[in-house]
Amino acid sequence: MRRVALITGSSGLIGQELCREFISQGYHVYGVDLRPQEGQENFTPITCDISKEEDIKKVFLAIKELHVLINNGAQADPYNKELHKLELSAWNKIIGTNLTSVFLMSKYAIPLLKISQGTIINISSTRHQMCEPHTEIYSTAKGGVVSLTRAMSISLGPTVRVNSISPGWIHDPHEKLSEVDHRQHPAGRVGVPKDIAKLALYLSSSDSSFVTGQDFIIDGGMTVKMIYQEQ
Protein backbone atom coordinates (compact mmCIF):
# COMPACT_ATOMS: atom_id res chain seq x y z
CA MET A 1 0.00 0.00 0.00
CA ARG A 2 1.33 3.41 -0.93
CA ARG A 3 2.01 5.68 2.03
CA VAL A 4 2.13 9.46 1.76
CA ALA A 5 4.10 11.95 3.83
CA LEU A 6 3.87 15.73 3.78
CA ILE A 7 7.04 17.46 4.99
CA THR A 8 7.37 21.21 5.39
CA GLY A 9 10.73 22.96 5.21
CA SER A 10 11.75 20.26 2.76
CA SER A 11 14.66 22.16 1.19
CA GLY A 12 16.47 22.74 4.50
CA LEU A 13 19.20 20.70 6.16
CA ILE A 14 16.90 18.48 8.23
CA GLY A 15 14.08 18.67 5.71
CA GLN A 16 16.12 17.20 2.87
CA GLU A 17 17.18 14.26 5.02
CA LEU A 18 13.61 13.66 6.17
CA CYS A 19 12.53 13.51 2.53
CA ARG A 20 15.36 11.13 1.57
CA GLU A 21 14.68 8.74 4.45
CA PHE A 22 10.92 8.60 3.92
CA ILE A 23 11.32 8.09 0.17
CA SER A 24 13.81 5.28 0.88
CA GLN A 25 11.12 3.57 2.95
CA GLY A 26 8.61 3.63 0.10
CA TYR A 27 6.71 6.83 0.88
CA HIS A 28 5.57 9.31 -1.68
CA VAL A 29 6.68 12.64 -0.23
CA TYR A 30 5.13 16.03 -0.81
CA GLY A 31 7.84 18.55 0.01
CA VAL A 32 6.51 21.96 1.02
CA ASP A 33 8.88 24.92 1.02
CA LEU A 34 9.02 28.61 0.22
CA ARG A 35 11.93 27.92 -2.13
CA PRO A 36 11.16 26.20 -5.45
CA GLN A 37 12.39 22.60 -5.68
CA GLU A 38 12.74 20.05 -8.45
CA GLY A 39 10.46 17.05 -8.59
CA GLN A 40 11.73 13.48 -8.82
CA GLU A 41 10.48 9.95 -8.42
CA ASN A 42 8.24 9.72 -5.34
CA PHE A 43 8.82 13.41 -4.55
CA THR A 44 6.37 16.16 -5.42
CA PRO A 45 7.51 19.69 -4.54
CA ILE A 46 4.98 22.33 -3.52
CA THR A 47 5.94 26.00 -3.18
CA CYS A 48 4.11 27.52 -0.24
CA ASP A 49 4.40 30.20 2.43
CA ILE A 50 3.43 28.14 5.47
CA SER A 51 2.57 31.25 7.49
CA LYS A 52 -0.33 32.01 5.11
CA GLU A 53 -3.59 30.10 5.42
CA GLU A 54 -4.57 30.68 1.79
CA ASP A 55 -1.33 29.06 0.61
CA ILE A 56 -1.90 26.07 2.88
CA LYS A 57 -5.45 25.61 1.63
CA LYS A 58 -4.05 25.26 -1.89
CA VAL A 59 -1.59 22.60 -0.72
CA PHE A 60 -4.42 20.39 0.44
CA LEU A 61 -6.32 20.76 -2.81
CA ALA A 62 -3.53 18.66 -4.36
CA ILE A 63 -3.37 15.98 -1.66
CA LYS A 64 -6.07 13.32 -1.47
CA GLU A 65 -4.50 10.94 1.04
CA LEU A 66 -2.00 11.40 3.85
CA HIS A 67 -0.39 9.17 6.47
CA VAL A 68 2.31 11.37 8.00
CA LEU A 69 2.57 15.13 8.48
CA ILE A 70 5.95 16.48 9.57
CA ASN A 71 5.87 20.15 10.54
CA ASN A 72 9.54 20.93 10.04
CA GLY A 73 9.37 24.33 8.32
CA ALA A 74 10.70 27.28 10.32
CA GLN A 75 12.77 30.42 10.16
CA ALA A 76 15.97 28.95 11.56
CA ASP A 77 17.91 31.99 12.82
CA PRO A 78 17.14 32.15 16.57
CA TYR A 79 18.60 35.58 17.30
CA ASN A 80 16.64 38.81 17.51
CA LYS A 81 17.24 42.36 18.75
CA GLU A 82 17.18 43.23 22.42
CA LEU A 83 13.64 42.67 23.65
CA HIS A 84 12.86 46.34 24.24
CA LYS A 85 13.91 47.13 20.67
CA LEU A 86 11.83 44.42 18.99
CA GLU A 87 9.11 45.42 16.54
CA LEU A 88 5.78 43.61 16.76
CA SER A 89 6.04 42.88 13.02
CA ALA A 90 9.22 40.83 13.62
CA TRP A 91 7.52 38.92 16.43
CA ASN A 92 4.45 38.18 14.30
CA LYS A 93 6.52 37.06 11.31
CA ILE A 94 8.55 34.44 13.19
CA ILE A 95 5.65 33.25 15.33
CA GLY A 96 3.63 32.90 12.12
CA THR A 97 6.27 30.79 10.37
CA ASN A 98 7.50 28.76 13.34
CA LEU A 99 4.32 28.19 15.35
CA THR A 100 1.13 29.27 13.61
CA SER A 101 2.14 27.19 10.59
CA VAL A 102 2.07 24.06 12.76
CA PHE A 103 -1.52 24.82 13.74
CA LEU A 104 -2.56 25.61 10.15
CA MET A 105 -0.89 22.60 8.52
CA SER A 106 -2.34 20.30 11.17
CA LYS A 107 -5.79 21.85 10.85
CA TYR A 108 -6.04 20.98 7.17
CA ALA A 109 -4.25 17.63 7.46
CA ILE A 110 -6.39 16.22 10.27
CA PRO A 111 -9.36 15.07 8.10
CA LEU A 112 -6.98 13.01 5.92
CA LEU A 113 -5.01 11.70 8.90
CA LYS A 114 -8.17 10.56 10.64
CA ILE A 115 -9.00 8.43 7.61
CA SER A 116 -5.53 6.85 7.55
CA GLN A 117 -5.11 6.81 11.35
CA GLY A 118 -1.89 8.66 10.72
CA THR A 119 0.73 10.59 12.60
CA ILE A 120 1.82 14.19 13.14
CA ILE A 121 5.45 14.94 14.02
CA ASN A 122 6.36 18.50 14.94
CA ILE A 123 9.97 19.65 14.90
CA SER A 124 10.73 21.87 17.88
CA SER A 125 14.17 22.70 19.34
CA THR A 126 16.10 22.32 22.58
CA ARG A 127 15.89 26.12 22.74
CA HIS A 128 12.51 25.75 24.38
CA GLN A 129 14.53 24.53 27.39
CA MET A 130 17.92 26.21 26.96
CA CYS A 131 18.19 29.84 25.90
CA GLU A 132 20.80 32.37 24.86
CA PRO A 133 20.34 36.14 25.11
CA HIS A 134 18.06 37.72 22.53
CA THR A 135 16.30 34.57 21.33
CA GLU A 136 12.86 35.34 22.77
CA ILE A 137 10.80 34.92 19.60
CA TYR A 138 12.36 31.67 18.44
CA SER A 139 12.37 30.14 21.92
CA THR A 140 8.74 31.11 22.49
CA ALA A 141 7.68 29.63 19.15
CA LYS A 142 9.49 26.35 19.76
CA GLY A 143 8.07 26.08 23.27
CA GLY A 144 4.65 26.63 21.77
CA VAL A 145 5.25 23.78 19.32
CA VAL A 146 5.81 21.36 22.22
CA SER A 147 2.72 22.59 24.08
CA LEU A 148 0.62 22.36 20.92
CA THR A 149 1.91 18.84 20.36
CA ARG A 150 0.79 17.71 23.79
CA ALA A 151 -2.63 19.34 23.50
CA MET A 152 -3.27 17.87 20.04
CA SER A 153 -2.28 14.40 21.17
CA ILE A 154 -5.14 14.45 23.67
CA SER A 155 -7.67 15.97 21.27
CA LEU A 156 -6.82 13.64 18.37
CA GLY A 157 -6.13 10.40 20.20
CA PRO A 158 -6.50 7.53 19.71
CA THR A 159 -7.06 8.00 15.98
CA VAL A 160 -4.08 10.28 15.25
CA ARG A 161 -0.84 10.21 17.24
CA VAL A 162 1.11 13.46 17.74
CA ASN A 163 4.71 13.79 18.93
CA SER A 164 7.51 16.32 18.64
CA ILE A 165 11.26 16.14 18.18
CA SER A 166 13.56 18.76 19.70
CA PRO A 167 16.98 18.74 18.00
CA GLY A 168 20.06 20.26 19.54
CA TRP A 169 23.05 21.21 17.40
CA ILE A 170 22.59 19.55 14.01
CA HIS A 171 25.24 20.21 11.39
CA ASP A 172 25.85 19.43 7.74
CA PRO A 173 28.02 16.27 7.68
CA HIS A 174 30.05 17.84 4.85
CA GLU A 175 31.10 20.74 7.09
CA LYS A 176 34.27 20.35 9.15
CA LEU A 177 33.95 20.98 12.87
CA SER A 178 36.62 21.10 15.57
CA GLU A 179 37.27 18.31 18.04
CA VAL A 180 36.13 20.69 20.80
CA ASP A 181 32.75 21.01 19.07
CA HIS A 182 32.32 17.26 19.24
CA ARG A 183 33.86 16.65 22.67
CA GLN A 184 31.59 19.11 24.45
CA HIS A 185 28.68 16.74 23.74
CA PRO A 186 28.33 13.84 26.20
CA ALA A 187 27.61 11.60 23.19
CA GLY A 188 31.00 12.54 21.75
CA ARG A 189 29.81 14.22 18.57
CA VAL A 190 27.60 16.91 17.10
CA GLY A 191 24.31 15.71 15.62
CA VAL A 192 23.57 15.14 11.95
CA PRO A 193 20.25 15.31 10.06
CA LYS A 194 19.96 11.53 9.87
CA ASP A 195 19.65 11.42 13.68
CA ILE A 196 16.39 13.34 13.36
CA ALA A 197 15.10 11.51 10.31
CA LYS A 198 15.58 8.06 11.83
CA LEU A 199 13.54 9.00 14.89
CA ALA A 200 10.84 10.49 12.67
CA LEU A 201 10.61 7.18 10.80
CA TYR A 202 10.18 5.32 14.08
CA LEU A 203 7.47 7.73 15.27
CA SER A 204 5.66 7.24 11.96
CA SER A 205 5.70 3.45 12.17
CA SER A 206 3.49 0.92 13.93
CA ASP A 207 6.45 0.16 16.21
CA SER A 208 5.61 3.40 18.07
CA SER A 209 1.86 2.80 18.32
CA PHE A 210 1.99 3.29 22.12
CA VAL A 211 3.84 6.63 21.83
CA THR A 212 1.97 9.92 21.68
CA GLY A 213 2.10 13.36 23.29
CA GLN A 214 5.86 13.18 23.82
CA ASP A 215 8.76 15.50 23.03
CA PHE A 216 11.97 13.69 22.10
CA ILE A 217 15.17 15.61 22.72
CA ILE A 218 18.04 14.67 20.40
CA ASP A 219 21.01 16.75 21.48
CA GLY A 220 23.86 14.41 22.37
CA GLY A 221 23.10 14.92 26.05
CA MET A 222 23.66 18.68 26.15
CA THR A 223 20.43 19.56 27.97
CA VAL A 224 21.47 17.46 30.97
CA LYS A 225 25.05 18.70 31.11
CA MET A 226 25.91 21.21 33.85
CA ILE A 227 28.26 23.89 32.54
CA TYR A 228 30.15 26.36 34.73
CA GLN A 229 31.88 29.51 33.48
CA GLU A 230 35.61 28.90 33.28
CA GLN A 231 37.65 31.14 35.59
User: pLDDT tens digits, residue range 18-69?
Assistant: 999 999 999 999 999 999 999 999 999 999 999 999 999 999 998 999 999 9
Please say if the pLDDT value at position 197 is more than 80: yes
Q: Given a cut of 70, is residue 108 above it in pLDDT?
A: yes
Residue 230 in this model has a pLDDT that exceeds 70? no
Q: Is the pLDDT of residue 231 over 70?
A: no
pLDDT at 201 over 70: yes
What is the overall mean pLDDT for the chain?
A: 95
Q: What is the DSSP string of the chain?
A: --EEEEEESTTSHHHHHHHHHHHHTTEEEEEEESS----BTTEEEEE--TT-HHHHHHHHHS-S--SEEEE---------S-GGG--HHHHHHHHIIIIIHHHHHHHHHHHHHHHHT-EEEEE--GGGTS--TT-HHHHHHHHHHHHHHHHHHHHHTTTSEEEEEEE-SB--TTS---HHHHHTSTTSS-B-HHHHHHHHHHHHSGGGTT--S-EEEESTTGGG-------
Predicted pLDDT at 129: 86
> Has residue 47 been placed in a domain?
yes
Q: Which domain holds residue 145?
A: 3-224
pLDDT of residue 10: 98
The reply to whether 56 falls in a domain is yes
Lowest mean pLDDT among 50-64, 125-139, 180-194: 125-139
**Confidence band of 90 (pLDDT split at 50, 70, 90):** very high
State the total domains in the chain.
1
Give the least confident one: 41-55, 73-87, 96-110, 181-195: 73-87
pLDDT at 70: 99
CATH number, domain of 193, equals 3.40.50.720
Q: Is residue 230 part of a domain?
A: no
Catalytic residue among 30, 138, 202, 228: 138
Residue 76: per-residue pLDDT: 85
Q: Is 138 a catalytic residue?
A: yes
102 within domain boundaries: yes
Question: Per the domain annotation, does 229 fall within a domain?
Answer: no
Percent of the chain predicted with pLDDT > 70: 99
**Per-residue confidence (pLDDT) for residue 113, from 0 to 100:** 98
Please say if the pLDDT value at position 131 is more than 90.
no
Query: Band of the pLDDT at 104, cuts 50, 70, 90?
Result: very high
Residue 231 covered by a domain: no
At 229 the pLDDT is 73
- Domain membership of residue 67 (yes or no) is yes
